[in-house]
Amino acid sequence: MVATRQMKRWAVGLAGALAGMAVQAQTGPINIDATLNHWNGSYVGQVTRELPAGDYLLHFKGLADNPPGAPSYLYDAWSCCQGGGWLNQFFVQTSAGTTFVGTLDNGNWKVFGDAASALAEAKATLSPYTLRLTQPETVRFGVADAPGMYGDNGGGISLLIIGAIPEPSIYALWLLGLGGLVVSRYAQRR
């Protein structure tokens, strides 16, 4: 009987701790293909993620950031304008609106001579970008191009998204799990 109660307490504590970790661990690559999924006028390469409320960090990544044998990041930058340049620009669309992230040059998107230069500038000046969600929602990622001008696009943007700061409810789950473990230890000593 005592062993059964103890096992239940450990299970509750472990479940609370694991639930907290699972919600926090919203990480992974996002690859936006600038040649696919045209929608809503000038948006290209739509990738969606279901994310819980919280703060996230978006880091620019590229082909050289791939671990050996496990390609997670498919692009360095994307090209447009009949192959005339490379961009590090992307957007994030949430219920709060659409935010564009990229290097500007006198108010226009800066065009680089090669993909490596666009990626290097993004990593140096734009990474990490903080995304704050006040509620769970579907978040869209993509690139923006002039309507009807998608045919000359190439490449894409690769990002790493990391759940940076858990919401207070996550801390509550951790405390619940820790409390269950402490109660179990206390009961075991008695």
Query: Residue 65: which CATH number?
Result: 2.60.120
Number of domain units in the chain: 1
Asked if residues 79 and 155 have their Cβ atoms less than 8 Å apart, the reply is: yes
Whether residue 39 lies inside any domain: the answer is yes
Q: Which two tokens stand for residue 40?
A: 């809503």
Whether residue 128 lies inside any domain: the answer is yes
Helices (H), the chain: 2-24, 115-125, 168-189
From 177, 157, 161, select the one nearest 169 (Cα to Cα). Answer: 177
Handedness of CA 165, 166, 168, 172 (dihedral sign): negative
3-state helix, strand, coil split of the chain in percent (to 5) is 35, 35, 30
- Give the mean model confidence (pLDDT) for residues 10-19: 52
Alpha carbon 46 to its chain centroid, in Å, reads: 14
Which range marks the domain in which residue 151 is found?
Answer: 26-166
Q: Which two tokens stand for residue 107?
A: 């108010």
Per-residue pLDDT of 92-151, as tens digits, reads: 999 999 999 999 998 888 999 999 999 999 999 999 999 999 999 999 999 987 766 667
pTM flag (> 0.75): no
User: Cα–Cα distance between 101 and 79 in angstroms, integer?
Assistant: 16
User: Cα–Cα distance between 126 and 112 in angstroms, integer?
Assistant: 15
Percent over 70 (pLDDT), the chain: 65
User: Cα–Cα distance between 167 and 47 in angstroms, integer?
Assistant: 24
Per-residue pLDDT of 139-168, as tens digits, reads: 999 998 776 666 778 899 999 999 855 555
pLDDT score of 145: 79
Whether residue 111 lies inside any domain: the answer is yes
Whether residue 89 lies inside any domain: the answer is yes
